[in-house]
Structure 1
């Protein structure tokens, strides 16, 4: 906060060339003291950017303040008013914000017509901000804009920061206190958005409509009319609903829900039919009752959730009676879709991912021979079995399968055996792969270093646990070219992602996280079929198995199945994790 305030103080820093108020009381002593103070102040600013100065220029600012204070004590002269401003700024850099505020209030009471009043109100507003008095801070910035003779948009950054920090009740009071059109507009819009955040779109619309008179004849009138239209579109009665089933009292639920809400709002602004959200929070004791409650809402055409695989297993007992598609955005356990014809997994299960990297290795990398080295753990066994079966199905050959104790870190013996098999087979190394699924990313360095030291030079293939930049980079001498799977991969430079982040931040005031993207992609996937006119659970059920959807975090392809067949294949190359392809497994 202190750094932010000090940065903003520089925006209106007074230049020496205009530091003469215009009074006829010229005082040569005051002139000399003032110029010395300005030089000390500049030295203070320069020293703050000097790495060797650990004091942050404190001594310079203190001496500058003393110079300016001496000018003030000389009585009214041509440097008096400027000295008030510079003395207050010096005090701010000394962290004496309360003293700086007192000085500025004294200045404003004595010199209400000074040309420095704008700067005084602005600086005083920043001081209130620092001291936590947010409503007075906003009012001072508002007064600064009222007397400003220049473009008031230069204040937008600090105004936005203030408004974002103030609670709804205080903002509503401030909306009626501020005078400048610019500030009033920003406050009114923020209040309306905060009201709408709880789903009260009618109240948000009315709040703006009741204040339109303040903006008649200004550029903000049309903007507010557009905002009213926005809320009217959101208020349109939904013809169909998406059920949402999330665990109660968990932050991940709110992240997923934000993504879903944003996708639905965007749809309702641009497309028909209008879609609503039917939300249920559950716990381990009432999840069965909560999922069955959707039966009483005939508009629900599909359900997003639950989050955890074990909760999906519980819902599987009841979903056949509902005959509503249940789409889990995150569950990854194998066999979930086999529990009910109505269960869909957008997050591919581990067997599907193993098949994907096997197909990619054979058909895209041109590998024909494979070693498998994996921890002896029941969680990994199905992954290994799926990989081996797929390699054989694709006419590849598995030369050796080895399992090590999960606590074992000395794997040299296993690599000596692989080396012996390689020597006996005498096959070119460029068509040989090592599939090494792991449970712990610490094994990235253990495995890749052994490949290097045994001079095997085979293509290393991994599971999602390999998607760990820190470990890959730490062992970059050995990991360049490692290929592995991922349930999702965001291109942070893509325009689609940047647009999503902007809209999300405008809506919620925070950056989206991974789970928000999961919710957003899942809802958009469903909305694609609803937009096409598939409104009943049966219509949605049949349609989502055929739709190919390209999302921000992942693509979704079911191809008449119910487990997402599209897997991100990543590579660590040139010290970066890159997406090689989005692989859709072949039947």
Structure 2
């Protein structure tokens, strides 16, 4: 039951999907049965009630039902259940919301993990309420409950009944997907034959159909066709004759097999917003893939809730099923570490779209990071700073946490390696409301550099001056005379004027007067311009505190950062503090690009919104995976080998390359610049080299 429970944890999210059609979920069913469109049983009021009293009573029921729906859609299942349970206690003759409330109470119990109650109440409702319009939804809920309890044969039968009794195409396809998954992973051929012999209602035809597909999957096409022909009439009546012909043609004319990609994402919990956004992009990628490929790929989607324990069990389940050719996810590094260990042991490719821990790929040859980790980001930015921007010295300010430490160390190590000089690394804890001490130290270093540079230049210019006045034919030959190191005489008409070295250098134009204005004691009026750049690998919210302080301490230099700076609203708000900002990012969204515009139109038609950063993360990463599948060899090893050789996949928001100096870690990124209004790319890097 351990693995059974594992499989189940995710079904509670109702997203085991085959993406040929729009996904059906509980929330979708709520929307489709909205108050104004739901088909209710006829309302029979008590003849003794006055019209006003009856209207007030009905309005109260409606308000309670609407509130229950709101609570349900917000995930407040206990509060929703209380309202629906109260509503279903009112007899149906006086309550047109009785059936809908009963169904919603059952679905609340399902969400709350009360699977036995779901089964008991669902069966009771089906026995007592004949010809309910919600019979298909109830059978589907029963299928979920049995599945969550690991009772796969009963789950299978109830999903089959949901198909047989429904005229809702979304629910039919969703239930069909569940039937395929249970058939593939949990029921033997013998068990399906037993269920066929036991089932006597219209669901028998659906069971026979899945039995025929099972035969075909095992290479027994003749037996599959034989079984399918026995239920042609029933399938044509329940679904359509075209549906029957499609299945018939598939079994008879093709030996292609079905394959799965496991998806482990946090669809609930703290990272639910990110997980669901990534999932939308992943789904849209598969939709497009199916239009151009004959490979039969579906997803098995798990909600790990960001929990390590769930991730381990889900990963074990997926790894044990040979039809699963790879796993997409998880999102966080802490979940990827145990998942990666299992992936390497079971030899199944694991591709995480967002994890940044630089140790992950060290777990084995089957782990791939589509996100650019801190080591690669630091390495590529440092190389670009030295090779292209020609920076020689850089100061660093970073938070003293895992992110700041790893990012700063990676940059500094690479900057040193390529010949640069890290002047200082300054750290801060928590929110950087006051980093005056760190900035004063940086100013002191900058001032010391200014003094040293001045002394070097002064000596060089003094030597140049002496050569100038002693060279026949020069402008000042026989006009300017050396007296000692600090005193010169200059013939001006009939007069001889004595000048100090400073005045002579200014007078001759060899140096500017401003160069002599370095204060003996630091003052904020003096601009620090001797530091080539400040590298600021900081959290996005820290920008609001750090930028004004850097400006206040009059450190005028280039600013370097990472992807956390990619917040256009914050940048515009702080643009008065930003003169020259360059940062490295593993993504860049060009909304004017034709590929983005075409994709976004289709995505919006499917999901009702335009794709954002994480939708595109999911879309691009899944596209890279799907494009790496070898049609002639759909296997884990083949996919691992092709991913390992992925030189450069160009996506809409990110490029992916796994062939850099650190294999299986994406080493493609963008150098971006903020010009005061917009962020624009100045270079595309692959393994530290500018390619575009």
Instruction: Give the TM-score range, shorter chain.
Output: 0.5 to 0.7
For the pair shown, the structure with the greater C-alpha radius of gyration is 2
1:498 to 575, 589, 597: 597
How many residues of Structure 1 are paired with residues of Structure 2 in the alignment?
398
Report Cα offsets for 1:402-436 as digits up to 9, x if no partner: 33444551424134223213313539959812112
Q: Tell me, what secondary structure is at the counterpart of 1:265?
A: helix
Q: Is the 8 A contact 2:344 2:367 kept in 1?
A: no
Cα 1:416–1:237 shift into 2, 3 Å: same
Report Cα offsets for 1:507-529 as digits up to 9, x if no partner: 23344343322221121101111
Aligned to 1:36: none
Instruction: Measure how far apart 1:383 and its partner are.
Output: 1.5
Aligned to 2:572: 473
Q: Is the 8 A contact 2:351 2:369 kept in 1?
A: yes
Report Cα offsets for 1:444-503 as digits up to 9, x if no partner: 354444544555432110123222223322221121431122232221222222222222
Q: Is the 8 A contact 1:366 1:431 kept in 2?
A: no
Matches within 5 A, 1:479-494: 479-494=578-593
Matches within 5 A, 1:253-402: 253-282=275-304, 283-402=307-426
Q: Tell me, what secondary structure is at the counterpart of 2:444?
A: helix
Larger mean CA deviation between 421-430 and 520-529 belongs to 421-430
Report Cα offsets for 1:220-239 as digits up to 9, x if no partner: xxxxx9xx99xx99x99654
Structure-2 separation of matches of 1:198 and 1:458: 61
Q: Which runs of 4+ in 1 moved over 6 A?
A: 209-213
The reply to whether residue 413 of structure 1 matches residue 440 of structure 2 is yes
Report Cα offsets for 1:340-369 as digits up to 9, x if no partner: 322111112122211121122122222222
Report Cα offsets for 1:202-235 as digits up to 9, x if no partner: 99xx9xx99999xxxxxxxxxxx9xx99xx99x9
TM-score by length of 2: 0.50
Instruction: Measure how far apart 1:339 and its partner are.
Output: 2.2
TM-score by length of 1: 0.59
Q: Is the 8 A contact 1:367 1:430 kept in 2?
A: no
Aligned to 2:260: 241
Q: Is the 8 A contact 1:399 1:421 kept in 2?
A: no
Cα 1:585–1:503 shift into 2, 3 Å: same
1:552 to 649, 652, 659: 652
2:532 to 413, 432, 452: 432
Ranges in structure 1 where 5+ consecutive residues have no aligned partner? 1-130, 137-166, 172-189, 214-224
Cα 1:405–1:425 shift into 2, 3 Å: farther
Aligned to 2:56: none
Structure-1 separation of matches of 2:632 and 2:453: 59
Structure-2 separation of matches of 1:545 and 1:530: 12
Report Cα offsets for 1:66-125 as digits up to 9, x if no partner: xxxxxxxxxxxxxxxxxxxxxxxxxxxxxxxxxxxxxxxxxxxxxxxxxxxxxxxxxxxx
Structure-2 separation of matches of 1:580 and 1:194: 49
Instruction: Measure how far apart 1:274 and its partner are.
Output: 2.8
Instruction: Measure how far apart 1:292 and its partner are.
Output: 1.7
Aligned to 2:670: 568
Instruction: Measure how far apart 1:196 and its partner are.
Output: 4.8
Structure-2 separation of matches of 1:439 and 1:395: 28
Structure-2 separation of matches of 1:486 and 1:287: 28
Cα 1:430–1:274 shift into 2, 3 Å: farther
Q: Tell me, what secondary structure is at the counterpart of 1:255?
A: helix
Structure-1 separation of matches of 2:277 and 2:176: 16
Instruction: Measure how far apart 1:328 and its partner are.
Output: 0.7
Structure-1 separation of matches of 2:688 and 2:681: 19
Q: Tell me, what secondary structure is at the counterpart of 2:386?
A: helix
Matches within 5 A, 1:174-185: none
Matches within 5 A, 1:535-546: 535-546=634-645
Cα 1:533–1:580 shift into 2, 3 Å: farther
Larger mean CA deviation between 306-315 and 477-486 belongs to 477-486
Aligned to 1:441: 541
Q: Is the 8 A contact 1:464 1:484 kept in 2?
A: yes
Structure-2 separation of matches of 1:360 and 1:386: 14
Structure-1 separation of matches of 2:607 and 2:400: 45
Cα 1:423–1:507 shift into 2, 3 Å: same
Matches within 5 A, 1:183-222: 192=169, 196=173
Aligned to 1:143: none
Instruction: Measure how far apart 1:194 and its partner are.
Output: 7.3
Q: Is the 8 A contact 1:371 1:418 kept in 2?
A: no
Calculate the aligned-residue CA RMSD, in Å: 4.2
Q: Is the 8 A contact 2:386 2:415 kept in 1?
A: yes
Structure-1 separation of matches of 2:597 and 2:677: 23
Q: Tell me, what secondary structure is at the counterpart of 1:530?
A: coil
Instruction: Measure how far apart 1:338 and its partner are.
Output: 1.3
Aligned to 2:626: 527
Instruction: Measure how far apart 1:323 and its partner are.
Output: 0.3
Q: Tell me, what secondary structure is at the counterpart of 1:380?
A: helix
Q: Is the 8 A contact 1:257 1:519 kept in 2?
A: yes
Q: Tell me, what secondary structure is at the counterpart of 2:387?
A: helix
Structure-2 separation of matches of 1:236 and 1:255: 35
Instruction: Measure how far apart 1:266 and its partner are.
Output: 1.6
